[in-house]
Amino acid sequence: MQWAAARLRPTSQWHAASVALLSPRLHAAAPVRWASSKRGGSSSRYMQRQKTDVYVKRRSKSTIDEDDEMGMGTGGAGYVARSAFKLIQLDDRYKFLRPGRVIVDLGAAPGGWSQAIVERVRRSKVAKTPVFALDLLPVADIDGVASIQGDFLDAKVQAQLRKLVADASAATATDERGFVDVVVSDMMANTTGNPITDTEASLELCRAAASFAFDTLRHDHTPKPEDARKSRPPSALAASSSVLVMKYFMSHEADVFRREVLQPHFHFVKAEKMDASRKESREQFWICIGFKGRRPAQSQEQAEL
């Protein structure tokens, strides 16, 4: 099967169904294009920030810059989104984007993370499967990326994604031992400015991403958590273990989610704030390494997954 520039173009019937199934909140709030929604009502502040943002400048470079102080050349192409640098910085720390791994990118549009993933995993010929990307909005055509446009909160869309990945990695969509190495989620609903609403919307996406990860990530029985942590750094574990990365908004509820849902399921869980994240933002990323398999629900939070 030829995966170069593979892109699932949904049939108009399927597309209509997926649009109709958008949750009312997202449907009402979803902009035509996510990038332009950032301009909102404070466009001059936005423009000023864009002018001075080192990552915006670096994103749009068309050639590798020898003076790039962070050593992150853009591979000659530039990234479609500055957010690519957040994933790059996280991977510099943990090194989980390795050739040959099966990787799912949730909330992928316009495609910055997918570009960064392809750049890192396809340096060698080992890469056989594409990167699987999903978003409400169209993802840019990127060589080596298969994308689905749909609402991740829709069970049918998730099932379609699971089947696509399973078929490509020669597993079954119900394989209980898992067939995905890495799930990354940069999903974020449109912010309303109301911290309670925004926190809940972000957590809803995290719950969905975690549940998908629990159903698809390879089980990782190898690291013995205490021994492994003493003798090897987490970055060494991430290179060979299953990994879940999720963006979230800092909040008390997020702390509960981490404690009750993420920690019991992974050998290692850490919250990271990336330099490339804007300082004023409440966003952080969880990196969860070494999936232990689904645990029986012992709390309300776990039962909701």
Ligand X SMILES: C[S@@+](CC[C@H](N)C(=O)[O-])C[C@H]1O[C@@H](n2cnc3c(N)ncnc32)[C@H](O)[C@@H]1O
- Per CB under 6 A, does 135 bind ligand X? yes
Which of residues 152, 214, 266, 291 is near ligand X by CB under 6 A?
Answer: 152
Residue with smaller CB distance to ligand X, 152 or 179: 152
Of 72, 108, 145, 164, the one binding ligand X (CB under 6 A) is: 108
Token duo for residue 70: 């962070």
Told to judge if 247 belongs to the known catalytic residues of this protein, a careful annotator would answer: yes
Least Cβ distance, residue 125 to ligand X (angstroms): 26
Does position 188 interact with ligand X (CB under 6 A)? The reply is: yes
Positive/negative CA dihedral, 285, 286, 290, 295: negative
Q: Report in angstroms how near the CB of residue 90 gets to ligand X at its nearest.
A: 12
Amino acid 129 reads T
Interface of this chain with ligand X, residues 3 to 22, rule: CB under 6 A: none
Query: Are the C-beta atoms of 89 and 54 separated by less than 8 Å?
Result: no
Name the residue nearer to ligand X (CB basis): 91 or 186. Answer: 186
Q: Per rule CB under 6 A, is residue 142 in the interface with ligand X?
A: no
Among the listed ranges 93-101, 124-132, 181-189, 191-199, the one in contact with ligand X (CB under 6 A) is 181-189
146 or 228: CB nearest ligand X:
146
Q: Which long-range contacts (CB under 8 A, 24 or more apart) does 294-303 make?
A: 294/214, 294/215, 294/265, 295/264, 295/265, 298/260, 298/264, 299/260, 299/261, 301/256, 301/257, 301/260, 301/261, 302/260, 302/261, 302/264
Element (H, E) at 283: strand 283-291
Q: How far is the CB of 97 from ligand X (least distance, A)?
A: 14
Residue 84 touching ligand X (CB under 6 A): yes
Q: How far is CA 166 from CA 89, 98, 106, 175, in A?
A: 29, 19, 16, 8
E strand or H helix at 300: helix 300-303
Catalytic entry in 230, 247, 270, 273: 247
Provide, rounded to whole angstroms, the least separation between the CB of residue 224 and ligand X.
33
Residue ranges in 258-297 that form contacts with ligand X under rule CB under 6 A:
none
Residues between 190 and 209 with contacts to ligand X, criterion CB under 6 A:
205
Binder among 6, 136, 183, 237 for ligand X (CB under 6 A): 136
81 binds ligand X (CB under 6 A): yes
Q: How would you classify the pairing of strands 145-149 and 182-185?
A: unpaired
* Among candidate residues 59, 38, 60, the one with its CA nearest the CA of residue 47: 38
Q: Is 151 in the site for ligand X (CB under 6 A)?
A: yes
Q: Decide if 182 contacts 216 (C-beta within 8 A).
A: no
Q: Under the rule (CB under 6 A), what is the footprint of ligand X?
A: 26, 34, 80-81, 83-84, 107-113, 134-137, 151-153, 186-189, 205
